Structure 1
């Protein structure tokens, strides 16, 4: 978390351009006291996709999001599609804990060449940045292939894996899953979520598309 890229001046400038009225920016100490002991964990969903290689990640996500919801008391919260699993887990948390907050899914914002925007992109070298475009290209390929009749998820995953490896990427996961349960599907169909994570150098990037 300490290594995560932060540029508050840039963020404030962008928020101002969008007409943001209020910004809540607490310190770590304000959110987590030194003797903090309580965590929120959504079973099953947190173990899939990103949860396989990052087993404790979503426990932290759901805990801090619930704390922020309790402080802000929003009617609506917007989460980006790029972190699709996160949005699904938060929706489940709200349902299980009877919280009346509407979750909206914001579309993935991309660079001109298709790479999903992420603060982690700043860690990429020039060559890694060029190679990472394959994530978007592979998702475009599977969407085009599905529209052309491809229904076998294993064939789609195999092809995407090859494309990423050919561009010096190290695959973390590639899945074709039900967009609500995140469970693997046996056949590609409209609404199937294709999600992936891969390393370029030491930088881990994620992306997805819904067929």
Structure 2
């Protein structure tokens, strides 16, 4: 039963990734464009510089290790193992990426957004409480709507592009999920980190006004260590 579930999730993920290839990022103009390490490049492009096709090898399209649990010994009790173009150069121009997410009991993948990708999450093990919040409604009298539910092994949930979402392990055992994203480099904005942990810090007067709390509350939050999920 367990192997069947894993196989089903794998097939679903592959099919989902193929669909995502048409959902985001510019369309490829060649068979492939294996990324070159451009950390020292003098010219920056929207994507990655292509490796000479004659120098491409099979390993450029290979990533090993998603069978290995991530280390959840951190304040959040979760670990994201990404497979974006930064880890797998062959993803360049293909418009897809993947992640493995491990959760300890009470582990949280905190509220965050992917500015460039929709995410489809497949739960393989454990029980998660997941959800996302809509953008601001046109009617100012209405509130942002939360769509949330509980996931069990074999369940699939979609987080629309750019919307704030989260996953929380409500079970008593470890949980494991895999996700596909419709961008080779989806990006992550962790809400608490961005608001309270930016460098340099946002002026407390701005956050005091925004959150309608006293200045000492904002200063306390800005003094905390904010853990990045990725």
Q: TM-score, normalised by structure 1?
A: 0.26
Give the structure with higher Rg (CA): 2
| Higher RCO, 1 vs 2 (CA within 8 Å, ≥6 residues apart) | 2
Whose strand proportion is higher, 1 or 2?
2
Whose helix proportion is higher, 1 or 2?
1
